Amino acid sequence: MQYVSTRAGDKNGTGKSFSQILLEGLAPDGGLYMPESYPVVTGRELDAWRKLSYAELAFEILKKFADDIPEADLKALAQKTYTPEVYCNVREGDTAQDIAPLRVLGEKDGKKLMLLSLSNGPTLAFKDMAMQLLGNLFEYALSRQNAELNILGATSGDTGSAAEYAMRGKKGIRVFMLSPYRKMSAFQTAQMFSLQDPNIYNIAIEGVFDDCQDIVKAVSNDLSYKTRQKIGTVNSINWARVVAQVVYYFRAYLKATADNSEKVSFTVPSGNFGNICAGHIARMMGLPIDRLVVATNENDVLDEFFRSGVYRVRKSDETWHTSSPSMDISKASNFERFVYDLLGRDGRRVSHLFRQIETKGFFDLSDSQKGDGDEFSRVPSYGFESGKSTHADRIATIRKVSSEYGITIDPHTADGIKVAWEHQQKGVPMIVLETAQAAKFNETIFEALGHNASRPAGFENIEGLPQRFTVMPVDAGEVKKFIAERTGL
Ligand SMILES: *Cc1c(COP(=O)(O)O)cnc(C)c1O
């Protein structure tokens, strides 16, 4: 399997292997890596996969994309990652053995609504599903090259803690994670700062999230420093993260159906388009997915595109802080992967359109006369639909799900369920992806239900644990010095 950039005009001779792109972010031309073609899964394979455990299924799918890693090694990595011990924080009635438990919420007029729980890992959000694999893959790849990596990131919550829990104690890896000092919730702060592993460094910046991001950019733009200090990232455009997410679409399909003639639809609470991009890839591989429904919050960049064909990124003063904060985005960094397929894999046009985003702030695929193309008319053939949700919708949905189905869901999942209700069809099960646990967003739960969200065992007193972090001013120079002193490079 060879990988190409979404912006490469000429595909010949530019292919890279999975291991070559594993530790990389963007391609050198500014594009995102994509497989040269999608491996197709046959009905016979699907039949055989119905009997597999989650780890076994992950191995079968991964080996199609990571064909330059010896199979025995890949199998061991999948087995080590997807264990009931790692994904132990399950809801009452679910079993940790399932890794990603699927439950029926209800069925009315032939419309079945299901929930796929993806947030049972150490940080109680779906990002653990991919990040835990990434930690093991990184450690494996670095040890083969006898190399080391210093991960530098900025976080306002979920991504940073998922990265730290994936990389803690890993040989050859250090994590330097910047977060805005005293701006995260007490729970999120405690999750990150209570880690005592010597390879994890929490740096609390006396500023806001954008200041943290600017420091990461400033450090990364100093190329000689970046090379000498072996600086890398783990952001959502990493290809291995997307592939790891493909696995649970297959898993959910195989659990929801008895026969490959049946179809299912998915609704996905979306921000950077990473999660639902994996659903698109599963569908391209031949998984019988009817529709892929993108659910956004008030930050509706994606809903706007799937309704109108116009992709218009937002400025920071048009990006709202909402009660589903992990979906508060101004542009969707993985969206370019879908656009690449939508435009018939024409890298030159993708490159042109995303450069236009930098200058004009938008592109329009609704009409080739007055816009930039007419490919919007092809969107339905990829199964995509969309909807949006507001704070009032989230509160109402958390209440309704609690009273009708007897479970507490988090605000992001509520955005998903609200939109799923609007897109359900008779005879096709609708599976909503649960992207976080309610305990992480207790304020909103309290507002909706008038009581606190219950916490999984072991998290009861997380705010009381000793914390390990360093406070620093908004100063890239100080951060650079801090890293260099720790790495000795
Ligand atoms: C990251 C995240 C999302 C958005 O996922 P994308 O892959 O960026 O679309 C949704 N919900 C939660 C809880 C998240 O952490």
List phi, psi (to 5°) of 430.
-105, 120
Indicate which residue's Cα is closest to atom 8 of ligand 1: 272
CB 299 within 8 A of CB 330: yes
The tokens of 337 are what? 């992967």
Distances (CA, A) of 195 to 122, 132, 303: 12, 16, 37
Picking from 420, 424, 450, the residue whose alpha carbon sits closest to that of residue 434 is 420
CA–centroid distance, 319 to ligand 1, in Å, is 16
pTM of the shown model: 0.96
Residue 318 is which amino acid?
A: E
CA distance 349 to 375: 12
Active site residues: 127
CA distance 255 to 284: 20
Q: How many CA atoms lie within 13 A of 322 on its CB side?
A: 28
Ligand 1 pocket: which of 161, 185, 238, 270 to mutate (most atoms within 8 A of CB): 270
The tokens of 258 are what? 């008895």
Per-residue confidence (pLDDT) for residue 15, from 0 to 100: 87
Task: Please report, in tens digits, the pLDDT of each residue of the chain (489 residues total).
Answer: 999 999 986 655 568 999 999 988 888 898 999 999 999 999 999 999 999 999 999 999 999 999 999 999 999 999 999 999 999 999 999 999 999 999 999 999 999 999 999 999 999 999 999 999 999 999 999 999 999 999 999 988 778 999 999 999 999 999 999 999 998 888 989 999 999 999 999 999 999 888 998 899 899 889 999 999 999 988 889 999 999 999 999 999 999 999 999 999 999 999 999 999 999 999 999 999 999 999 999 999 999 999 999 999 999 889 899 999 999 988 999 999 999 999 999 999 999 999 999 999 999 999 999 999 999 999 999 999 999 999 999 999 999 999 999 999 999 999 999 999 999 999 999 999 999 999 999 999 999 999 999 999 999 999 999 999 999 999 999 999 999 999 998
CB 118 within 8 A of CB 126: yes
CA distance 270 to 328: 9
CA distance 172 to 142: 7
Domains of the chain in sequence order: 102-122+243-449 (3.40.50.1100)
List ligand 1's pocket residues with C-beta within 6 A. 125, 127, 158, 236, 269-275, 326-327, 412, 435-436
CA–centroid distance, 484 to ligand 1, in Å, is 32
Q: Which residue in the block uniquely carries the two structure tokens 């659903």?
A: 279
